[in-house]
Amino acid sequence: MSVKILLVDDHQVFSTSLKLVLEANSYEVDIATHVNLAISFLKANSYDLLISDIEMPEINGVDFIKIIHKNKSNFKKTPKIIVLTSYHKIALFKKLHVLGIDGFLSKNTSQFELLKAIRNVLANEKYYETSIYNSYLKSNLNNQSIDFTDRELDVLKLILEEKTTSEIALELQISKYTVEGHRKNLLQKTNSKNVVGLIKYSLLNNLF
């Protein structure tokens, strides 16, 4: 069954070019040139993924995403959301991150990275462009202090030493399930997508 993608962008040359790229990679693609048309598409079709610009006439992308969250019951399916924009500001990313977007990329990204982001997001992972995500992490660290438990710090230190879940469980004499629980808490507290994010957080905040 093919993956259905809805592109929302008022720049038709860009969206048409992107549609060709995605279709060449076996994705089924529709284009909406404004938000109201996109909403009509979402009501009539089941989309796995929405790729949206931010700067659009009448309704901007941030408000569009808010509309999606408020009207989930009116849509055939609630899609994953990747924002693809030329507006590359940390303040914007923070707003979108709070709204729970699944991906964020600038329009000058490579086809390779875009396709990688799509695959990751469809696999229920987050994918944020490295430069903007690093800026977000630095901003977060400079503005708030996170309260870790002693055991979370023990687990984090061993993660940084590249220990596996089994090795951490053995060293700390706890179950693998408990280790995974601490790992999940660490990811949530630091707003990290994966272990790489935890490493970045630890280095930026000089935890150890």
Give the number of domains in the chain.
2
Q: Are residues 99 and 61 in the same domain?
A: yes
pLDDT tens, 123-169? 999 999 988 888 777 766 554 567 788 888 899 999 988 899 999 99
Last residue of a domain, one of 138, 163, 180: 138
Q: Are residues 8 and 90 in the same domain?
A: yes
Among 36-50, 112-126, 136-150, 171-185, the least confident range: 136-150
pLDDT tens, 93-136? 888 988 889 999 999 899 999 999 999 999 999 999 988 888 77
Q: Are residues 110 and 154 in the same domain?
A: no
Confidence (pLDDT) at 144: 55
Residue 76 maps to which CATH number? 3.40.50.2300
Q: Are residues 133 and 155 in the same domain?
A: no
Sign of the dihedral through C-alpha 94, 98, 99, 100: positive
- DSSP letter for each residue of the chain: -PPEEEEE-S-HHHHHHHHHHHHHTT-EEEEESSHHHHHHHHHHS--SEEEE-S--SSS-HHHHHHHHHHTGGGSS---EEEEEES---HHHHHHHHHTT-SEEEETT--HHHHHHHHHHHHTT--EE-HHHHHHHHHHHHHH------HHHHHHHHHHHTT--HHHHHHHHT--HHHHHHHHHHHHHHHT-SSHHHHHHHHHHHT--
Q: Are residues 53 and 16 in the same domain?
A: yes
pLDDT over 90 percentage in the chain: 56
> Could you tell me the residue range of the domain that residue 47 belongs to?
4-138
- C-alpha span between 170 and 32 (Å, rounded): 53
What are the backbone angles phi and psi of residue 93, rounded to the nearest 5°?
-60, -40
Q: Are residues 78 and 123 in the same domain?
A: yes
Q: Are residues 107 and 187 in the same domain?
A: no
Last residue of a domain, one of 138, 159, 184: 138
Q: For the chain, what is the mean pLDDT?
A: 89
**Residue 207: pLDDT over 60:** yes
Confidence (pLDDT) at 140: 64
Q: Are residues 122 and 187 in the same domain?
A: no
Q: Are residues 85 and 184 in the same domain?
A: no
- C-alpha span between 165 and 159 (Å, rounded): 8
